[in-house]
């Protein structure tokens, strides 16, 4: 066993070039496989962590006649609700030449928490925080004063809803519902919102909230992209729908009471409705999930190409290795080694670089590829500032198994297909023997200045013929026709036995070829 081990180690050192090529192709294949297939989960995990840290709303309730403080209190009383918060929002235009459309919203400390990129949060009613996207465009900077107008360019309508319309920029931030560059649509300007502005809630003078943002109980421990999270949102939606019937009727009665219980003919009032929506209406959440799924689909196809290349490279390397060691295989079998031992030898040649390359590829690929992909997507999703890269051992084991399967099958196929190849046919061996005899006699005759002698050809040919016959017998080829033996008998019938004996004896004693002029023309010997 020890000699076999030493010989195996010598083979590793001798054929290190082949092992290095197999090592690197398996490393690349497993790295791409595990890296791409882990990227989808890492992207979703990073997004879920960001949503939990910033308390992105789980549900949003929008009423056709607004949401009252009583509605917020009733929502907070539900067991499934952790936090319900009313929010004011208004679409306005920035005063100035560009007149950018922005969404003015009340600042929240519990739901949809802003992440500061520079500056600080507002502390007084005349301060505001702007979208970091507006800072990147170079429109505003810290300390600037910004004023707002309504859609027609005046401030008359805004003065009935806001306590003031001019603010000082004290910071820039990101919001979790605007993780990408899309800021949604509005009802002012061109209809496209360029950014958002956060001001203290005390700036809004309207009693009713625009919407209610809700955080659900036991939602943070769940993966927001899982079915368990979807079921939790469905249960909460059902409870809120029951509450909505009472709340909408109460809101209708409140507005009717403001008219003294009698509506003028020109006023059409209907019972309001609540629209309960989840994160599926948040554009950035949907876009990011779709992008992660695209990466996951890419990870199902692209690694197959790398593993096919790895299988071909492994097959080529193992085929050449077995071809080069055909003689070594014969020696091992002559020493008593079983076919399984020889097969195990070359299987280990394939498995050692495969296992090492697979392990290195998995460890490196599950860190490099997801990080590179998320860094690239961070250019589109500026709000995503944290990347979680845990090892996905399931995908890693699948990658290792696929690599071992490719190289293992290649090694077994190469060993079985080449180790049992048939030797050359006996008739070819006879031709080689005869050609060597003819060439040797011709060169010697010309060397001594004589002509090619039939005696020399026949004598030397018969001298070497016995070896050719024995070689053909050892190969056990053409047992029925026996071309070598038939050729010898044909030559013996053509030459007189006594003359042959004399020529052989003369050839053995003298050790030199006789000069003769008996044959003035080249002799021709034809084998059939």
324 and 250, same structural domain? no
Q: How many residues does the chain have?
A: 528
109 and 193, same structural domain? yes
**pLDDT, tens digit, 9 for 90 and up, residues 206-260:** 889 999 999 999 899 999 999 999 999 999 999 999 999 999 999 888 888 877 7
Residue 185 lies in domain: 89-205
Task: Provide φ and ψ at 424, rounded to 5°.
Answer: -70, 155
Q: Which two tokens stand for residue 386?
A: 């944290």
C-alpha distance from residue 410 to each of 6, 132, 313, 358 (Å): 24, 56, 9, 16
Question: In the chain, how many domains are there?
Answer: 4
Q: How many Å apart are CA 278 and CA 285, to the nearest integer?
A: 11
Dihedral, CA atoms, 134, 135, 138, 143, nearest 10 degrees?
Answer: 110
**pLDDT, tens digit, 9 for 90 and up, residues 178-203:** 988 888 888 887 888 888 999 999 99
Q: How many Å apart are CA 15 and CA 346, to the nearest integer?
A: 12
Residues 6 or more apart in contact with residue 460 via CB below 8 angstroms: 437, 440, 441, 507
297 and 328, same structural domain? yes
Rg, the chain, Cα only? 45
Q: So what's the pLDDT on residue 53?
A: 92
399 and 371, same structural domain? yes
Looking at every residue in the chain, the average pLDDT score rounds to 77
Q: Taking the alpha carbons of 263, 268, 270, 276 in that order, is the dihedral positive or negative? A: negative
158 and 61, same structural domain? no
Q: Are 225 and 219 in contact (CB under 8 A)?
A: no
77 and 100, same structural domain? no
Q: Are 19 and 349 in contact (CB under 8 A)?
A: yes
**pLDDT, tens digit, 9 for 90 and up, residues 473-495:** 554 444 444 444 444 444 444 44
Report if residue 522 sits inside a domain. no
Q: How many Å apart are CA 89 and CA 196, to the nearest integer?
A: 10
User: Within 10 A of 270 (CB to CB), how many other CB atoms are there?
Assistant: 9
Q: So what's the pLDDT on residue 476?
A: 46
pLDDT band, residue 160 (cuts 50/70/90): confident
Report if residue 524 sits inside a domain. no
Q: How many Å apart are CA 404 and CA 401, to the nearest integer?
A: 5
414 and 291, same structural domain? yes
Report if residue 303 sits inside a domain. yes
221 and 318, same structural domain? no
Q: Which two tokens stand for residue 320?
A: 């050449």
Q: So what's the pLDDT on residue 527?
A: 35
Last-in-domain residue among 205, 225, 251: 205
Mean pLDDT of 142-167: 85
Task: Give the rounded percent of residues in the chain with a pLDDT score beyond 90.
Answer: 33
**pLDDT, tens digit, 9 for 90 and up, residues 63-115:** 988 999 999 999 999 999 999 999 999 999 988 777 888 999 999 889 999 99
Q: Which two tokens stand for residue 155?
A: 């401030």
Residue 323 has pLDDT above 60, yes or no: yes
Report if residue 81 sits inside a domain. yes
Task: Give the rounded percent of residues in the chain with a pLDDT score beyond 70.
Answer: 70
Report if residue 526 sits inside a domain. no
If one compares 186 and 122, the residue with the highest pLDDT of the two is 122
Q: How many Å apart are CA 300 and CA 121, to the nearest integer?
A: 45
Task: Provide φ and ψ at 309, rounded to 5°.
Answer: -65, -40
C-alpha distance from residue 473 to each of 86, 330, 469, 470 (Å): 100, 19, 6, 5
Residues 6 or more apart in contact with residue 224 via CB below 8 angstroms: 47, 48, 51, 52, 279
User: Within 10 A of 300 (CB to CB), how many other CB atoms are there?
Assistant: 12
Dihedral, CA atoms, 109, 115, 118, 120, nearest 10 degrees?
Answer: 10
If one compares 101 and 463, the residue with the highest pLDDT of the two is 101
C-alpha distance from residue 379 to each of 179, 372, 498 (Å): 11, 12, 100
Q: So what's the pLDDT on residue 184?
A: 84
Residue 359 has pLDDT above 60, yes or no: yes
313 and 264, same structural domain? no
258 and 362, same structural domain? no
Last-in-domain residue among 281, 301, 328: 281
Q: Which two tokens stand for residue 302?
A: 């692209």
Helices (DSSP H) in 476-517: which residue ranges?
Answer: 483-494, 497-510
Reference 288, options 80, 49, 456; nearest CA is 49
Residues 6 or more apart in contact with residue 302 via CB below 8 angstroms: 32, 36
380 and 312, same structural domain? yes
Report residue 256 CA to chain centroid gap: 61
Strands 145-149 and 166-174: antiparallel
Report if residue 484 sits inside a domain. yes
Q: Are 212 and 84 in contact (CB under 8 A)?
A: yes
If one compares 68 and 499, the residue with the highest pLDDT of the two is 68
User: Within 10 A of 199 (CB to CB), how many other CB atoms are there?
Assistant: 24
Last-in-domain residue among 205, 223, 257: 205
Report if residue 238 sits inside a domain. yes
293 and 361, same structural domain? yes
Q: So what's the pLDDT on residue 438?
A: 53
Report if residue 474 sits inside a domain. yes
């Amino acid at each position: 066993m020890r000699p076999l081990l030493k010989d195996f180690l010598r083979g590793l050192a001798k054929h290190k070039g082949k092992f290095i090529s197999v090592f690197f192709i398996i490393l690349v294949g497993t790295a791409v496989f595990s890296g791409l297939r882990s990227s989808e989960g890492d992207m979703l995990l990073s997004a879920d962590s960001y949503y939990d840290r910033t308390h992105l709303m789980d549900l949003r309730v929008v009423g056709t006649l607004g949401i009252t403080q009583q509605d917020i209190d009733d929502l907070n009383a539900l067991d499934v609700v952790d936090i319900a918060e009313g929010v004011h929002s208004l679409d306005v235009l920035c005063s100035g030449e560009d007149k950018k459309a922005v969404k003015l919203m009340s600042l929240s400390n519990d739901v949809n928490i802003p992440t500061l990129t520079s500056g600080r949060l507002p502390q007084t009613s005349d301060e505001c925080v702007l979208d970091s996207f507006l800072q990147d465009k170079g429109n505003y900077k810290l300390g600037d004063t910004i004023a707002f107008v309504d859609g027609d360019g005046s401030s008359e309508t805004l003065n009935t809803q806001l306590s003031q319309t001019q603010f000082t920029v004290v910071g820039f931030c990101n919001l979790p519902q605007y993780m990408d560059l899309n800021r949604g649509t509005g009802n002012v300007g061109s209809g496209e919102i360029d950014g958002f502005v956060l001001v203290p809630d005390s700036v809004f003078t309207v009693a009713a909230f625009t919407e209610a943002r809700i955080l659900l109980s036991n939602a943070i421990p769940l993966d927001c992209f899982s079915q368990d999270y979807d079921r939790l949102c469905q249960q909460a939606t059902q409870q809120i729908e029951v509450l909505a019937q009472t709340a909408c009727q109460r809101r209708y009665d409140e507005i009717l009471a403001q008219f003294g219980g009698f509506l003028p003919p020109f006023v059409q009032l209907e019972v309001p409705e609540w629209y309960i929506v989840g994160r599926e209406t948040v554009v950035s959440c949907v876009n990011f999930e779709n992008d992660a799924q695209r990466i996951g689909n890419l990870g199902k196809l692209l690694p197959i190409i790398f593993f096919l290349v790895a299988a071909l490279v492994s097959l080529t390397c193992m085929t050449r290795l077995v071809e080069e060691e055909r003689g070594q295989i014969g020696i091992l079998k002559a020493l008593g080694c079983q076919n399984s031992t020889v097969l195990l030898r070359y299987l280990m040649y394939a498995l050692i670089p495969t296992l090492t390359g697979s392990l290195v590829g998995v460890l490196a690929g599950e860190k490099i590829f997801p990080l590179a992909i998320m860094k690239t997507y961070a250019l589109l999703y500026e709000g995503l500032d944290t990347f979680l890269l845990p090892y996905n051992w399931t995908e890693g084991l699948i990658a290792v198994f696929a690599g071992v399967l490719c190289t293992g099958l290649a090694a077994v196929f190469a060993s079985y297909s080449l180790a049992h190849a048939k030797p050359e046919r006996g008739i070819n061996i006879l031709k080689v023997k005869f050609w060597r005899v003819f060439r040797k006699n011709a060169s010697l005759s010309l060397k001594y200045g004589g002509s090619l002698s039939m005696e020399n050809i026949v004598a030397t040919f018969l001298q070497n013929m016995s070896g050719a016959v024995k070689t053909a017998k050892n190969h056990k080829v053409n047992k029925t026709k026996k071309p070598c033996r038939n050729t010898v008998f044909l030559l013996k019938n053509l030459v007189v036995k006594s003359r042959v004996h004399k020529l052989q004896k003369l050839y053995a004693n003298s050790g030199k070829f006789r000069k003769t002029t008996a044959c003035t023309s080249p002799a021709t010997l034809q084998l059939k």
